[in-house]
Structure 1
């Protein structure tokens, strides 16, 4: 390595290569690679920006590389291709000077795919001849005749995802464009101050953060490693998107008749919502049962909820009736596995992995879990159905179809009054869809269902 920036580029390359070669997750592999290469501080931040930026912009970058290389990107040597993707991202999306971009990328290709160095040099020189706006006019469909196709390339989202977002936004393509822009921004880290354990203002002072805009437990962190703060290390707070905090607190604030002591988190891993629910339960004299079907995720829930009135069980949430009598619980959270289209800011590689074919098995599972949650709650109790996806099939359709087929008396509770006063853009109800561009949160969906009999 010539200097620390070259080392940062190599770290970013290794992370991007692991994502494409091994189906790794950037947020998991990048910290490990940085540690192995001894990369810290500003250089680690540069590697992080290169990694996440390249993965977010992959659609546009690949379209541009295909033209500059005069061949489809899948016909380029994988090692050279990932290095060139990093170079194209630097050239088009950052302030790194063009000559530095070309020379550093060629050096990187020379390290990882020596035979392709000349090819990479020629392609990158073509890339830097034009700016991003000029390239997009060349590679994206015409905006006037194919707005969705244009948005997909210009903002690097698969076209089916753009259509799903537009459907959930009532067909408003202007607002869809604003969402796509926000989806490509680096999100703030949100902390959750566990009620009864630490005050949000105290957490903000300890971390140098700022109280959140909506959740009474949220603190926005300007930077740094959250795990380094004592409040996180000692279980007084945890990392959690503000949207997740809002939907969990809405569930426990919904009015119910009768007792309010038995709570259930049906799909608890990795434990963020269980941690918040457990802390609230401790202050109300309630007890939370947290169910997780994956063993290592169940262990994460145990670690996250240590010291709280939470019992963790390793089981399949769809079979909750085998362990508990029907109608045993007063409140039930069904945070169902989903496509994760609402958290693409944090997991940029997910947009390229998910396919429309993923929807049928996921929606089948979602409906089975929600049906189990409705059986588990007592008459008069409330179920909160949550997904981190705005796709209508995973949200409105799943809720309406499951309620209809349940054979139980179920009514939808208006969730909007249970979110903080003054929150904009909550729609016409009774369910709530949060959005990155409206609320600064992940695109969390919440429906509250009360069992009547």
Structure 2
């Protein structure tokens, strides 16, 4: 976990550097062939498991090196993400079919089996092809276990996906445990989602949310404003439903790569979160903006483009040097000088940052569990633990205090998490409001986001915060809260005395 950054900071996760065993030559005398797509998927799964690599960072690198056809690259992507999303469910299937716990199965063979089960239960790959190639892959990574892999996969293939769901659900302790089993989520995450939805009076949407987590998200683009991009020249471009700068295209990756940084791959919810800050109120001349936890730089780039159009100065802070480099790369396509600093976000030196009087707008995209982006980072559901929440909320609170302290009087802070967990959203925010009572006020965040959006959003609640959802809005589950720092010379709007 990165301190004072907006995401994970382990360099080895950024690179996913391990090569894996699957690319070894077949055993002597063997004529088995394994497709490149399956080899790449296995190697990524192995790196995710053994090196804590991130699939969304490693897979594009492997695909780029392999130079697969578009169809083969799409197959490798489906194998990788589909297997990681449904890993919990597949492990239960494997345990039933094998008659033993997954902990008693060689780790590499377990990855082979997971890939095979995904093909058998969730794709149109013919049974014989799925079994044959996975057994061939087993011979490469653990020859003595090939027969075992063959037996397990053939057993799985004799039962329909619907029947496997019934078998996996059998013996569930309660409703949440059943949902956790069949939708491949840890039970604690199911409970956290239920609590967050219930807060909105929408607990009946839980199954739709869990299903959305297991669906491949579309690749969304942000067309950075004010940089002269003609959307009409982007093949197949269609504007987003909500984000005024977002859209989709026939080949979004190629579009982004060919744009010199003016078009970026970015979730629509992330765009709305950044725009909520930059467009909350009219900008006055010479404003100072701060992205407190900037890495890897997606929201920073959008803020930079917004700052360019209104003449604001933007500082981007990031604690991890490697991630600060990602921020610099992200803003390279925006012709504005973004001051990228490397520092702990909790220990700001306003004078050194060039804003001795404080910042007019601060984006705090706080480190969090990332439970709102499980569609895109499926391995996160298996890495995060309930114990992580307490540590993260402590860090979030410290960063929130630092951000409020760095605001100029009248300045606006956007507190954002890519998690709907109520401890990380309303919990952290509520505790911060108590500490800063009489010195900050909440803005009508819902009204701001609705004003930014192209079309009305379904946003239940009191309006002071916004929670986006993948099943309802097609975005990551972004939480957005806007705060304004009160001028000490003005009468306080809160009745409690300030306390930190």
State the TM-score, normalizing by the size of structure 1: 0.94
Contact 1:152–1:162 under 8 Å retained in 2: yes
Q: Distance in 2 between matches of 1:124 and 1:290?
A: 50
Task: Report matched runs for 1:393-432 at 5 Å.
Answer: 393-406=423-436, 409-419=439-449, 420=453, 421-432=455-466
CA RMSD of aligned residues (A): 2.1
The yes-or-no answer on 1:279 pairing with 2:305 is yes
Q: For each residue in 1:206-256, what CA deviation from the matched residue of structure 2 results, as whole angstroms up to 9, or x when unmatched?
A: 24331111111001134453466421xx12122211111101111122237
Q: Distance in 2 between matches of 1:227 and 1:318?
A: 37
Q: Distance in 2 between matches of 1:347 and 1:227?
A: 22
Task: Report matched runs for 1:336-355 at 5 Å.
Answer: 336-355=366-385
1:214 corresponds to: 242
Which of 145, 149, 152 pairs up with 2:180? Answer: 152
2:498 corresponds to: none
Relative to 1, partners in 2 of residues 1:363 and 1:238: Cα closer, same or farther, differing over 3 Å? same
Contact 2:236–2:248 under 8 Å retained in 1: no
Structure scoring higher RCO (CA < 8 A, sep ≥ 6) equals: 2
Q: Give the 3-state SS of the residue equivalent to 2:35 in structure 1.
A: helix
How many pairs align? 448
Relative to 1, partners in 2 of residues 1:158 and 1:111: Cα closer, same or farther, differing over 3 Å? same
State the TM-score, normalizing by the size of structure 2: 0.85
Q: Give the 3-state SS of the residue equivalent to 1:298 in structure 2.
A: helix
Q: Give the 3-state SS of the residue equivalent to 1:215 in structure 2.
A: coil
Q: Give the 3-state SS of the residue equivalent to 1:446 in structure 2.
A: strand
Q: For each residue in 1:344-379, what CA deviation from the matched residue of structure 2 results, as whole angstroms up to 9, or x when unmatched?
A: 111111110011111122111111111111111112
Q: Give the 3-state SS of the residue equivalent to 2:274 in structure 1.
A: helix
How far is 1:381 from its partner? Answer: 1.4
1:433 corresponds to: 467
Q: Distance in 1 between matches of 2:377 and 2:384?
A: 12
Q: Distance in 1 between matches of 2:232 and 2:383?
A: 36
Q: Distance in 2 between matches of 1:336 and 1:351?
A: 18
The yes-or-no answer on 1:26 pairing with 2:55 is yes
Unaligned runs of 5+ in 1: none
How far is 1:257 from its partner? Answer: 9.1
2:409 corresponds to: 379
Which of 304, 325, 330 pairs up with 1:304? Answer: 330
Q: Which has the higher helix share?
A: 1
1:249 corresponds to: 275
Relative to 1, partners in 2 of residues 1:213 and 1:198: Cα closer, same or farther, differing over 3 Å? farther
The yes-or-no answer on 1:125 pairing with 2:154 is yes
2:400 corresponds to: 370
How far is 1:335 from its partner? Answer: 0.7
Relative to 1, partners in 2 of residues 1:226 and 1:388: Cα closer, same or farther, differing over 3 Å? farther
